[in-house]
């Protein structure tokens, strides 16, 4: 007796997976996850009260896995458009290494696991925020906004901006102005970051049928909007110093980084129409990553120095 009929195997009805652990790890979007971990960690350290270090590790791990789970759900739903974009065609599902159903189950199980772990071991406010983030990214952004409106990454950017608020809530059990400002920095950073990418990858998005701003409103309008967001982002980055809860050191770094963001955005704004290499857009995309890392690193350093000085003065 044959357990599986040969013809079924030939038809591909039963597929023996060749996906490695690395393929499943790739479903978690590790590069996005690293940014989430870093910003959540800053929110956690910046909180005015302390948390047991082991519980802090658990919180960061749960936030990382929750973010990864939403990435897996995003890859499951977007496998069709990932397959036609050069940037995403080698992802595990479009390349055939992981079956869509496997990615869906993987994403759902990790979502439930991360939220329950955070709730049971840390607190339920942070767990609820993590659950909201996963839902917002996987359902509101991926399934709804992304293919419907050029404001997709503006609204959807909220999901990527919440991690420092979750980190803060994991320690304090509440949401405060300080954590909301960290949220605002990432929220306002997201549109110029992704629109810079969309400018020099517009053909990819066009082929996939995603209504990114350059494809819908045109390059000139996108460049103006990038600059407008930079004008708002630069002062918001300095707000923690203006409001008096970070040092002048942070204020100076945030001002310099914001000025740099404005400069690179200006170069995109005045970029000639016939510049198809789009070096200013590529430069802004690269700088935007440096900006976000720099401003959160400065914030983290400021918090650590303040703690050390407080201990020294006690």
Partner 1 sequence: MADDKLEMIELTESQKKARRSRSIAIGLALGALVVIFYVATFIKFAHSMPNGSM
Residues that bind partner 1 (CB under 8 A): 1-4, 9, 16-22, 24, 52, 54-55, 58, 61, 117, 121
Q: What is the DSSP letter of 209?
A: T
How far apart (Å, rounded) are the C-alpha atoms in residues 82 and 215?
A: 17
Alpha-carbon radius of gyration of the chain: 21
What is the rounded distance in angstroms from the CA atom of residue 74 to the CA atom of residue 68?
Answer: 10
Q: How far is the CB of 22 from partner 1 (least distance, A)?
A: 7
Give the residue with the Cβ less far from partner 1, 92 or 192: 92
**CA dist., res. 226 & res. 224, Å (int):** 5
Q: Closest Cα partner for 159 from 172, 144, 148, 174? A: 144
- Residue (172 or 225) nearer to partner 1, CB: 172
Q: Which residues contact 149 (CB under 8 A, 6 or more apart)?
A: 155, 211
Closer residue to partner 1 in complex, CB, 68/157: 68
Query: Which CB sits closer to partner 1, 58 or 165?
Result: 58
Closest distance to partner 1 from the beta carbon of 1 (Å): 4
Beta carbon nearer to partner 1, 91 or 201: 91
Alpha carbon 55 to chain centroid, angstroms: 23
The least CB distance from residue 175 to partner 1, in Å, is: 23
- 209 half-sphere exposure, CB direction, 13 A CA radius: 6
> Closest separation between CB of residue 63 and partner 1, Å?
14
How many C-beta atoms lie closer than 10 Å to residue 149's C-beta? 15
The residue behind tokens 């870093």 is 38
Contact 122/55 with Cβ under 8 angstroms? yes
Best CA proximity match to 135, nearest among 73, 196, 189: 73
Tell me how far apart the alpha carbons of residues 153 and 208 are, in angstroms, rounded to a whole number: 16
Angle between helices 152-161 and 30-46 (to 10 degrees): 50
Nearer to partner 1, 5 or 80 (CB): 5
Least Cβ distance, residue 151 to partner 1 (angstroms): 38
Q: Which is nearer to partner 1, 55 or 128 (CB)?
A: 55
Shortest spacing between CB 29 and partner 1, in angstroms: 17
In whole angstroms, how close is the CB of 267 to partner 1 at the nearest point? 44
């Amino acid at each position: 007796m044959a357990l599986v009929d040969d013809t079924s195997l030939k038809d591909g009805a039963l597929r023996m997976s060749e996906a490695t652990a690395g393929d499943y790890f790739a479903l978690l979007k590790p590069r996005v996850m690293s940014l989430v971990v870093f910003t959540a960690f800053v929110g956690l350290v910046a909180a005015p009260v302390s948390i047991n270090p082991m519980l802090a590790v658990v919180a960061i791990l749960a936030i990382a896995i929750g973010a990864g789970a939403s990435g897996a759900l995003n890859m499951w739903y977007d496998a069709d458009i990932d397959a036609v974009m050069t940037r995403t065609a080698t992802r595990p599902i479009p390349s055939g290494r992981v079956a869509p159903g496997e990615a869906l189950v993987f994403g759902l199980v990790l979502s439930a696991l991360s939220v329950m772990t955070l709730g049971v071991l840390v607190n339920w406010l942070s767990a609820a925020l993590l659950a909201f983030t996963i839902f917002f990214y996987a359902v509101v952004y991926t399934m709804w906004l992304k293919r419907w409106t050029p404001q997709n990454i503006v609204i959807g950017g909220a999901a990527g901006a919440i991690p420092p608020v979750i980190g803060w809530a994991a320690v304090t059990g509440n949401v405060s102005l300080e954590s909301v400002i960290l949220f605002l920095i990432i929220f306002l950073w997201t549109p110029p970051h992704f629109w810079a990418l969309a400018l020099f990858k517009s053909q990819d998005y066009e082929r996939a049928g995603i209504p990114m701003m350059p494809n819908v409103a045109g390059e000139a309008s996108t460049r103006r909007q990038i600059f407008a967001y930079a004008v708002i982002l630069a002062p918001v980055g300095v707000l923690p110093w203006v409001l008096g809860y970070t040092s002048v050191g942070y204020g100076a770094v945030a001002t310099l980084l914001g000025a740099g963001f404005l400069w690179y955005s200006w170069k995109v704004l005045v970029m000639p129409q016939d510049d198809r290499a789009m070096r200013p857009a590529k430069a802004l995309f690269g700088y935007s990553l440096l900006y976000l890392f720099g401003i959160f690193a400065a914030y983290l350093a400021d918090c650590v120095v303040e703690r050390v000085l407080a201990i020294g003065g006690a």
